[in-house]
Structure 1
Amino acid sequence: MENPFTFNIPLGIVGLDVIYDFTIDKKDLIQFLNFEELDIFFMQLAILDYSITNRSSSNLNYLDLSSNSLTGIIPSQIGALQNLNYLDLSSNSFTGIIPSQIGALQNLNYLDLSSNSLTGIIPSQIGALQNLNYLDLSSNSFTGIIPSQIGALQNLNYLDLSSNSLTGIIPSQIGALQNLTYLDLSSNSLTWIIPSQIGALQNLNYLDLSLNSLTGIIPSQIGALQNLNYLDLSSNGHTGIIPSQIGSLHNLISLDLSYNSLTGIIPSQIGALQNLTYLDLSYNNLTGIIPSQTEALQSLVHLDLSSNSLTGIIPSQIGALQSLVHLDLSSNSLTGIIPSQIGALQNLIIFYLSSNSLTRIIPSQTEALQSLVHLDLSSNSLTGIIPSQIGALQSLVHLDLSSNSLTGIIPSQIGALQNLIIFYLSSNSLTRIIPSQIGSLHSLIELYLPYNSLTGIIPFQIGALQNLTYLDLPCNYLTVEKRLHAAQKIAPAE
């Protein structure tokens, strides 16, 4: 088939934008080399040939070959394009190393080599690109250290080295990059501490060091980064306390310190972060109470304090967080009651309080949580009845009240939960019959009712639950009605 792109380029054109999905021939590409600007993306280029750097290309100052199917190495001749201001080779399939000749491109403002399969080290010659504003080497397979010469790039606004296999320390020279607004070193194998010099980056609004092997304390100098909107230090090995200086980050929108080994209390200064929408401190070793100052975080959408060693009560002030969509306080040592103020959280979709030591009744105010999709109150010491108001939660997909001390009947209103897929009531002290209305739960896949004191006949309506895969009823006082023929198709729970 004839190449539809082949044509002669008129004289006098100094720039070209090509965005299309077809194959371009090398002989066509050579025509472009006298341009000052060249944009070619979403094409089917097979290789970046040395010819692009071996012709009369001295005028080229803008080269974008991103999002093509380019393969092979980045040719060392790239260093001949010394008028380049902008170079984007991202989202291709380049292999091999970054050629050291990249250091000759001293007019570069923008360099993006992300989303390729490049290997080897980040060359120290990168430090010669002192006009760079933007550097993205993310989503490759780079190894070795972050070169200390990175500190020479003092005009950088944006630095992304994430999703590689970099090792060693975060160099202290990073503190020289005082124009940085965006720094992402996540998803590498960086070790040792966060250098205190990070506090010099006072223009930062995005800092992500997650998914590394960083250790030591979170430096108090982090509090100097008062323009930060996003801070993620999760999935490392940080120890020590959450520094009180965190309360100085008044512009913070997202804070994630999860999956570390942090100890001590949640500092009351957290209440100063009134722009926060996302707070995750889960999977640490935090102790003490949930500070009442959290009531000031009225923009919070996501709050996760799970899998710590928090004690004391759930503060009634939790009811002030009316923007919450996700609330997870599970796997702590919280005591006392579920406060009735929980009913004010009418935007909640996910609500987990499992594996604590909560007591007394499930408050009837839960009926106000009509957006709930997941409700897990399991493995506590809750008593009293399952409130009939549970039937108002018609968006529920997952309901787990197992391993408590609930008594009384399974309310017939449970039949209104027609979106329910998983329903666990095991290991309580529920009595009397299984209500026939359970046959209305046509989406149900898993039903676990063992270890109660249920009596009577298993309602034949369970046989109409055609999606039911797991039915677990042992350790009750139930009998089987002959009409329950469909139960023969149900796999026993493991």
Structure 2
Amino acid sequence: MGSIARSIAMAVLLCLVGASLTEDMQYECLENECELVLREDEMAGGIHAIRFTLSVEKGFVEFNLGRSRISTIPNPLFAANGNKIDVLDASEVDLQYVTPETFANASVLRILRLQQNRISVLPNYLLANATSLTRLNAGSNRIVDVGEFAFQGLQNLKELRLSRNKIRNLPRKLFAGLVKLTDLNIDRNRIVDLSGGLFENLAELNELYLSFNYIEKLSNTAFTGMPLLKKLALQNNRISTIEANAFKPLAKLKNLWLQSNNLKVLAPDMFSSLSLLTDLDLSQNSLTDLPKELFRYTISLEELKMKNNSIEQLDDDLFNNLQKLEELEMENNNLQSLNGTLFKNLRKLDTLLLESNSIATIEPGTFDQLKSLQVLDLNDNGITSIEGGLFRKNKNIEKLFLNNNNIGILKAGSLDGMTKLEEIYMDNNEIQSIDGNFLQPLQIKILSLDDCGIKMFPKSFFSTQQSLRTLSLKGNKLTHVDAETFGPLTRLKNLDLSKNRIRNISTSLANLSHLDLLDLSDNLIRELPDNAFSKLKRLTKLNINNNYLEAIPKAVTVLPKLSFLTLENNQIKSSATEGGLTSVQELYLSDNEITSVDIKQYTNLDELYLGNNRIESISNGSFSASTHLTTLDLSGNRLFGPLERSFSELWKLRSLDLDNNPLGIVTLETFSGLESLDDLSLKNTSLTKIDTNLFGVSPSLDKLDLSENKFPAFNLGALYHFKRLRELYINGNGASFEDLSGVETIEAIKAISLSAENWDVPSDLLRNKENLKELYMQGPRFNSLPADFMNRTRELKKLSISDNKNFKMLPSTFFEDVPYLVELTLSNNSLSVLKPGVFDPLVLLELLDISDNPLVTLDKELFAKTYSLKDLILRNTNLTVLPLGIFDSLDDLATLDLSENHLSALPTGFQNTVLVLGLDSNGLTSLKISPTLEGLSVDDNKLSSIEVDQSEDSFSILTQLSAARNRFTNFDSFVKFRALNFLDASFNNFSEIDTGLISSQLLALRELNVSDCNLRLIKSDGNRQQTTLTHLDISNNNLTSLEIGALSTLPSLQSFVFGGNLFDSFAISNLLATLPELRNIGLAGTQWKCEFLRSLEKPMQESFVNYSFKPQEEGNQKTCAKDFNGVCCV
């Protein structure tokens, strides 16, 4: 149907609906494309009262119900037009059920789209008479039950999509008769079992998608009846058993995806019938050994992926018959070595990925037969050397990855043979020696040597590298940039020198005339010579963040093409320069000491960031030379209102951030001229009122944040002009809202956030909010809401109702009008009972927070239908016991917080999927956790040990553990968690800790807190280098001295907190020499002498070391009679 006719048809229907809901409605369409918008809640006669007349002259009709809101498809649609409609689109119309009666006359229907609705059941014989149907999409519904004969009669069906539902069981004869089906999608359901013969009639099936289910076993008869199948997707299930002949019927299979399952053993002849297989993925399983016959018959394999397993050894003959293999992925296994004959027949292999194994040495000749190899990844192994002609026969390698190894020497000749090598990545190697000829005679384009501890390069290192385009040297120990060394890099475009110890670069970059990007952030630069960048005429991006500059260097003003300049977190006093910088479009000057806005030289500026400075006022004309500004950030300054006409020249400004300024008042003239403004943030600006016509000058405003102010009222006039407003935030309002009529007028809004103390929720707040996606209400005082309060907000995705002590009960139908919620917060109310079924409509819910409510008990069936839940927060709900099986339906649960309850024990089984578990303040005396847990917090319990529920072939992957305030007396419970990178064991009772034990067992540890533990001794016997530890807190113990020598094994330590012990002095020079990366020390807690603290000032300044202070607990704040730089002293 043409656009005019379509509009008329829609208008006629809507007119009839609006005119009389008691009379039968007539709808007529004369074209081949008909579109109809229905609102069932406005139809007095019901959904089946409409009469359809489709009078197309020839051909069939494509009927679209898009944007409708109906519970089912009207029966009369096909009753009178079943011989005319060949396509029906009823997707995203909120369908809740479908019946066979609807399609009884759908004789010519070819395509049926039912996706993204709320259908829960597909009944038997649903489409028995729709014998012409070729495509059916019922994906993204809530289907739990499918009748065994739901698809009977669909002998012409070719595509069937049931993805993203909640189907658990597939009846034995469900697909019987679908003889022409070619594509079947049943992925992302809850299927546990595939009954034998389920697919036996699918003789034409080419693609079968079963991924993201809960299948545990594949039997010998699971895939019979699909002789033409080419793609089989089984990834992300729970498959632990595959019978030997499971894939035998699939002789035509080309793609088999089995990654992310629980496979431990594979039968030698499992793939013996798959001679046409080209792509096999076995990644992320628990395989430890591969039979040497496993790939004997998969002679067509081109891609083989086996990463993220536990494979320790590969048989020499394993890949003998894979002569067509092009890509082999073996990352994250336990390979100890590679035999020289392993790759002998892989002459077509172009990509070999061996990252994250334990290959300490590789024998020369290992890669000799890989004549086509282009990409070799050896990252994160234990490789100590690449000498000896290792790559002598690999002339086609273009990319070489050697990050995170133990390579200490870069010796000339190590790269011989790789004549086409263009990219080298060697980050995180502790390089001690560099041969000046290491790169010769290669012409490298990308070289990365980040975090290698490099202090300097031989002057000839880059002498032949005129082709180098990108050089990254981030995180090394360079103190200067030598002009002679870097001089040959005349074609270099990108140079990263960040996180070094560079104090000045002089003119050492003079020859880099092609440089486009330069990163000097996180160094020790106080000033730059005026001519430092004089020859960098092509530089467009410059980063000098986190240094010690006191002014914008004159050196940057001579860069004619500079468009991006960031100087954040320095000590710059003014944004002004003597000239230049007319090309700069993005300027970042936040976190400095700037006192005024002076940007007249930046005539092409688009974005300006001046947050967290000391600006107190804005002079007239401050922006007169920068009228192209689209983004302005002035947050965190000292600006006082009303700033009238301060921004009047900025007619193109789209985003203005004035958060955290003491404005006090704004007027109509404050925003004069801002006709393009669509994002305005006035958070925490001490405002007490909004005048009726204040924002009339900005009718295009899209987002408005007025949080953390003190508005007594927010009436109709305040928001009347905002017809386009999409997001409104009025959080942390100091006073209660007296009038919210202004909010009620905004129809197009998508996000509303209101927060105050004891405010009344207007009954019609949401009456016209059909587009609302997010609603946050904090501090309201209702006992209950009208039954129809949310009946217009069907699209709502996020809902939060918190801090309402009058809110004591959730009606069982509370969420029926918001069935598409993804996040729900009901924290800090007075809910004492949650009825079974109250959350049942929320099948799509992923996050639920019901913390801080006096629940006491939870019904076993409370979460029975919240199948999609990933994050569940039950903190402080007075729970003493959890019903057995309460989490059984939550197969995707990843984060569970049960802190601040009274649980003495936990039910078994529920931890199998949980990745992060919170159990603080429960009074637990014992705990056994799953080996798959990644994060655990058990502060304030009575634990003296933590056990792991593990079998012999599994190990804990816990990476973060907080166990403060318990009863641990030694580290035995901690060192077993070998993967830990964060450990807080403070406020326990260790008389001593063994750093040798910690350094040998917790190799990945980055942060360790053992403060307040009564430590008297730190043992250092057997200490090993622990290069990962960056933060150590040993404060408030009973140590009588600081043993600086014991810290020499912590070369990467950046933050060290040791105040509050029994010593009152230490050798600062020795400490700084021992810990070269040190940036912060914490001294609070000791009664230091002020004179001693003064003696620390100069060496600390010279080494750029600052004081750090731990946040003090509420009620325990201490004041000092005297202090030096914030540290108490006498």
Tell me whether the two structures share a fold, i.e. TM-score over 0.5: yes
Residue 160 of structure 2: aligned partner: 112
Task: Select which of 279, 296, 313 maps to 1:230.
Answer: 279
SS in 2 for 1:112: strand
Aligned: 1:79 with 2:126: yes
SS in 2 for 1:166: coil
Task: Select which of 260, 276, 279 maps to 1:211.
Answer: 260
Aligned: 1:276 with 2:325: yes
Aligned: 1:313 with 2:362: yes
Structure 2: gaps of 5 or more residues? 1-6, 11-27, 31-53, 534-543, 550-566, 571-1076, 1080-1130
Task: Select which of 341, 354, 376 maps to 1:327.
Answer: 376
Residue 435 of structure 2: aligned partner: 385
Aligned equivalents of 1:435 and 1:279: distance in 2? 39
Residue 99 of structure 1: aligned partner: 146
Task: Select which of 266, 269, 272 maps to 1:220.
Answer: 269
Tell me if structure 1 keeps the 8 A contact 2:187–2:212. Answer: yes
SS in 1 for 2:429: coil
* Number of residue pairs matched by the alignment: 478
Tell me if structure 1 keeps the 8 A contact 2:98–2:119. Answer: no
| CA spacing shift, 1:82–1:342, aligned 2, 3 Å | farther
**What are the residue-to-residue correspondences of 1:296-375 with 2, within 5 Å?**
296-310=345-359, 312-313=361-362, 315-316=364-365, 318=367, 321=370, 323-334=372-383, 337=387, 339-341=390-392, 344-345=395-396, 348-349=398-399, 351-352=401-402, 354-355=404-405, 361-363=411-413, 365=416, 368-369=419-420, 371-372=422-423, 375=425
Residue 287 of structure 1: aligned partner: 336
Q: What is the CA deviation profile of residues 78-106 of structure 1, one whole-angstrom value per residue up to 9, with x for unaligned ones?
A: 53425647553437542232421544515
Aligned equivalents of 2:246 and 2:454: distance in 1? 48
Tell me if structure 1 keeps the 8 A contact 2:139–2:165. Answer: no
Residue 255 of structure 1: aligned partner: 304
Q: What is the CA deviation profile of residues 117-150 of structure 1, one whole-angstrom value per residue up to 9, with x for unaligned ones?
A: 4113133244551544445234433343334452
Deviation of 1:279 after TM superposition, in Å, equals 0.8
Aligned equivalents of 2:446 and 2:365: distance in 1? 24
SS in 1 for 2:304: strand
Amino acid at match of 1:255: L
Task: Select which of 140, 144, 147 maps to 2:188.
Answer: 140
Tell me if structure 2 keeps the 8 A contact 1:367–1:390. Answer: no
| CA spacing shift, 1:434–1:257, aligned 2, 3 Å | same
Deviation of 1:208 after TM superposition, in Å, equals 0.8
Task: Please identify the structure whose Cα radius of gyration is greater.
Answer: 2
| CA spacing shift, 1:447–1:324, aligned 2, 3 Å | farther
Residue 193 of structure 1: aligned partner: 241
Aligned equivalents of 1:414 and 1:402: distance in 2? 22
Which segment is superposed worse, 77-86 or 23-32? Answer: 23-32
Residue 222 of structure 2: aligned partner: 174
Aligned equivalents of 2:296 and 2:103: distance in 1? 57
SS in 1 for 2:119: strand
Aligned equivalents of 1:233 and 1:287: distance in 2? 20
Aligned equivalents of 1:369 and 1:400: distance in 2? 23
Q: What is the CA deviation profile of residues 21-72 of structure 1, one whole-angstrom value per residue up to 9, with x for unaligned ones?
A: 976997795365225x834569876648747753542634743427x66553
Amino acid at match of 1:2: I
Tell me if structure 2 keeps the 8 A contact 1:64–1:89. Answer: yes
Aligned: 1:443 with 2:491: no
Deviation of 1:423 after TM superposition, in Å, equals 2.1
Q: What is the CA deviation profile of residues 394-445 of structure 1, one whole-angstrom value per residue up to 9, with x for unaligned ones?
A: 6417444826899733735498577426325847999977845489856334
Aligned equivalents of 2:186 and 2:471: distance in 1? 40
| CA spacing shift, 1:29–1:458, aligned 2, 3 Å | same
SS in 1 for 2:263: strand
Which segment is superposed worse, 253-262 or 166-175? Answer: 166-175
Deviation of 1:355 after TM superposition, in Å, equals 1.2
Which segment is superposed worse, 197-206 or 100-109? Answer: 100-109
Amino acid at match of 2:325: L
Aligned equivalents of 2:517 and 2:318: distance in 1? 53
Aligned equivalents of 1:292 and 1:406: distance in 2? 40
SS in 2 for 1:247: coil
| CA spacing shift, 1:449–1:299, aligned 2, 3 Å | farther
Deviation of 1:205 after TM superposition, in Å, equals 1.7
Aligned: 1:65 with 2:113: yes
| CA spacing shift, 1:6–1:127, aligned 2, 3 Å | closer
| CA spacing shift, 1:418–1:361, aligned 2, 3 Å | closer
Residue 6 of structure 1: aligned partner: 29
Deviation of 1:273 after TM superposition, in Å, equals 1.1
Deviation of 1:204 after TM superposition, in Å, equals 1.9
Residue 873 of structure 2: aligned partner: none
| CA spacing shift, 1:376–1:40, aligned 2, 3 Å | farther
Aligned equivalents of 2:283 and 2:140: distance in 1? 30
TM-score w.r.t. structure 1 length? 0.75
Amino acid at match of 2:473: F
Tell me if structure 2 keeps the 8 A contact 1:53–1:81. Answer: no
Tell me if structure 2 keeps the 8 A contact 1:187–1:212. Answer: yes
Deviation of 1:247 after TM superposition, in Å, equals 3.5
Aligned equivalents of 2:490 and 2:312: distance in 1? 48
Deviation of 1:304 after TM superposition, in Å, equals 0.7
Amino acid at match of 2:435: I
Aligned equivalents of 1:447 and 1:53: distance in 2? 69
Aligned equivalents of 1:287 and 1:85: distance in 2? 59
Percent identity of paired positions between Structure 1 and Structure 2: 13
SS in 2 for 1:355: coil
Deviation of 1:283 after TM superposition, in Å, equals 1.3
Tell me if structure 2 keeps the 8 A contact 1:57–1:81. Answer: no
Deviation of 1:16 after TM superposition, in Å, equals 5.8
Q: What is the CA deviation profile of residues 223-251 of structure 1, one whole-angstrom value per residue up to 9, with x for unaligned ones?
A: 33212111111111122235333133110
Tell me if structure 1 keeps the 8 A contact 2:340–2:367. Answer: no
Aligned equivalents of 1:446 and 1:198: distance in 2? 55
Aligned equivalents of 2:462 and 2:432: distance in 1? 20
| CA spacing shift, 1:263–1:389, aligned 2, 3 Å | closer
Aligned: 1:150 with 2:198: yes
TM-score w.r.t. structure 2 length? 0.37
SS in 2 for 1:248: coil
More helix by share: 1
Which segment is superposed worse, 256-265 or 56-65? Answer: 56-65
Residue 135 of structure 2: aligned partner: 88
Task: Select which of 482, 495, 506 maps to 1:459.
Answer: 506
SS in 2 for 1:2: helix
| CA spacing shift, 1:169–1:239, aligned 2, 3 Å | same
Residue 470 of structure 2: aligned partner: 420
| CA spacing shift, 1:64–1:448, aligned 2, 3 Å | same
Which segment is superposed worse, 214-223 or 353-362? Answer: 353-362
Q: With CA pairs under 8 Å and 6+ residues apart, which has the higher RCO, 1 or 2?
A: 1
Deviation of 1:207 after TM superposition, in Å, equals 1.1
